[in-house]
Chains A and B, each alone.
Chain A
Amino acid sequence: MTMREITYREAIREAMSIEMRKDTSVFLMGEDVGVFGGVWGVSEGMLGEFGAERVRDTPITEAAIIGAGLGAAMVGMRPIVEIMFGDFLMCAGDQIVNQVAKARFMSGGKANVPLVIRVTTGAPGSAAAQHSQSPESWFMNVPGIKIVCPATPADAKGLLLTALRGQDPVMFYEHKMLYGESGAVPEEDFTVPFGQAAVVREGSDVTVIAVGIMVKKALEAAEALAKEGISLEVIDPRTLVPLDRETLIRSVAKTGRVVIAHEAHERGGPGAEIAAVLASDAVEYLDGPVLRVAARNVPLPYSPVLENYVLPDAADIIKAVRSFWAQKGA
């Protein structure tokens, strides 16, 4: 494959464009996705290539955007809908939880729902409590939706192409602070399968299972701790539903210690599910507690001082990792 550096934003645009060129049933709709190219710039230029019928500005109506996406999907279209902020998913809460997620089941399998909900996640900095949340796990409790959290440009492209070719609804969480990040991405059409975690960095002392932007922070922590002779293995689940239990367990079997890192709040976040999986299926390998590094259970504040206090970062991962040895000594 021919690799070149592109941004996460460009990788997502590339995946959408590849599929829209191949398959006329694919179209994009959302607030400001047309002439403006999306407030995050992801669909920039797509109106020019695909026209206003296939790159559609919608009114400000999240419930109808997702509900109409479901309607169109059930009759054979493959809509991609963009929701500007993950926080606004709740404006469409019923459509997601009771309609999109249930359509296949409640129709005895007759309804196909190839709907991709592209949505932003995470704190962009001083955007406060209703613009900064990481809502991935809110929907992990709802059977019927797949949940994808790409951490790199290459995964963004490969996972989105998988989403666009599947038959099930997918929530595709794009972290706002990753849009500008560059990375090597194959130029060709390629897919990354769901339910296959990535071993991002191999190591032997502690497994860090990191979600979304925390993969980057875990790698920073690994770099710093390597200098002290502590070796981190960084695992990115890439999809939370389905979750690749085997890769997580295999890593924990090797290291015996695990830290789970995500930007969502700690209580009931993705880490709670992952920790439960490890507690049931990997307990014999664990040499210590399953630790979580996550946002505090406080809404995200605007003021930078408070926001820094609430959000997790690489230093918090380092602290958690060191605590394994502190405990041993104590």
Chain B
Amino acid sequence: MSDELSPEMKKEMYWMMLLARRLDERAWVLHRQGKIAFHISGIGQEAAQVGAAFALQRGVDWVTPYYRDLALMLSLGYTPRHFALSLYGKREEPSSGGRQMPSHWGYKPANAVSHSAPVATQASHAAGIGLAIKLNGESKVVLSTIGEGSTSQGEWYEAVNWAAIHNLPVIFMVENNMYAISVPVAKQMAVPSAADKACGLGLDGRKVDGTDVFAVYAMMQELVAKARNGGGPSLIEARMYRITPHSSDDDDRSYRSREEVDEAKKSDPLLVGKRQLEAEGLLSEADLESMEAKAKDMVDDAIQYAEAAPYPEVAEGEYPVYAEEVRHA
């Protein structure tokens, strides 16, 4: 079914999850220290994101990510420095030069499009990119990610419907982390899984354990190959748990118990991945130590770099609203 992953690839995937985790954890610390305005976390969702990214032709295929996709973006070549620059709103931040919020991505070398604050809008963009790929006769695919709560939006159904009608090469991946801010999944949808929505729209709907990076990879490989070969779009639900509060503005204690969160941490994708690699004899203590040390170095470097980097100039404040000079803009 899936291409056999080499031991090196497996370790690389684990490394990406680990790097994303350590960078994400540091962002929480920076927020607590009052150094950054906002953080929204991908902790607990790394396996789905890395598994999906590695199944793509990275830098060739298109991605419309959503705000939790730090591990996905790192897998596509967005760097810890880029992320740190976005946290501080610095001039060199590659997505927007400090215009957009952190975790809204957009990275041209990776063919990754910026996410908007209103949720679910990226699904239509993905359908449009899929349409352009088809019209141009290219063999690329689009990965479009979203949270499960956001699949309630009419716009999401419209986009998936469109992709299904026209057999567009789009994989819609729902990262079902069981909550939309405070609202549990049962109040977001009447079906047991977001994948069940596929049958009403006429495309393939799949479920996968979103804490198992290799399972996600295997399923994504299949769906990507199908889309690339003209087999049309798919909908995949990767299920996991949002281990952190919704964002740095949220306190989750009012709507879920600590016991529930602690229980979910037992299937932390990092633990799951570590166990899998250890069982195959691919991860030694020494490997782990060196990965941790490298992650710490890269995170430290990223933060130092971003702190020292300049803010945008006030003089550029009017730009870039229009492509051309517009008087009295």
Chain A residues within 8 Å of B, Cβ to Cβ: 31-32, 34-37, 39, 57, 59-61, 63-64, 85, 87-88, 90-91, 125-131, 296-299, 301-306, 309-310
Contact = CB atoms under 8 A, between A and B. Distances in A.
B154 A64 contact: yes
Contacts of B118: 87-88, 90-91, 130
- Name the residue among A91, A128, A129, A304 with the largest chain B CB count within 10 angstroms: A128
Nearest to A297: B329
A32 B104 CA distance: 22
B182 A59 contact: no
A299 B117 CA distance: 13
Contacts of A303: 89-91, 98-99, 311-312
Interface residues of B, number: 44
Contacts of A34: 182-183
Given A127-B101, A304-B37, A305-B98, 10 more contacts: A31-B183, A36-B182, A59-B187, A59-B188, A60-B150, A60-B180, A60-B188, A131-B101, A303-B312, A310-B317
B135 interface: no
A126 B104 CA distance: 13
B267 interface: no
A9 to B, nearest CB: 15
A60 B89 contact: no
A36 B254 contact: yes
A306 B312 contact: yes
Interface string B297-329: 000000000000001111011100100000011
A63 B314 contact: no
Contacts of A90: 118
Nearest to A307: B89
Given A35-B255, A303-B311, A298 B318 contact: yes
Contacts of A32: 181-183
Interface in B256-273: none
A306 B99 CA distance: 8
15 contacts: A32-B182, A60-B119, A85-B117, A90-B118, A127-B117, A128-B99, A128-B104, A130-B117, A298-B318, A301-B99, A302-B89, A302-B100, A302-B102, A303-B91, A304-B311
B138 to A, nearest CB: 30
Q: Nearest 4 pairs between A and B by C-beta?
A: A303-B89, A303-B98, A130-B117, A36-B182
A304 B38 CA distance: 12
A122 B314 CA distance: 21
Contacts of A130: 116-118
Contacts of B98: 301-303, 305-306
B189 interface: yes
Contact of B101 (A35, A61, A126): A126
Contacts of B181: 31-32, 36, 39
Given A35-B254, A125-B37, A309 B314 contact: yes
B149 interface: yes
A63 B154 contact: yes
A275 B61 CA distance: 51
B52 to A, nearest CB: 22
Contacts of B317: 296, 298, 301, 306, 309-310
B153 interface: yes
Contacts of B328: 297
A63 B153 CA distance: 8
Contacts of B150: 60
Given A85-B117, A130-B117, A60 B100 contact: no
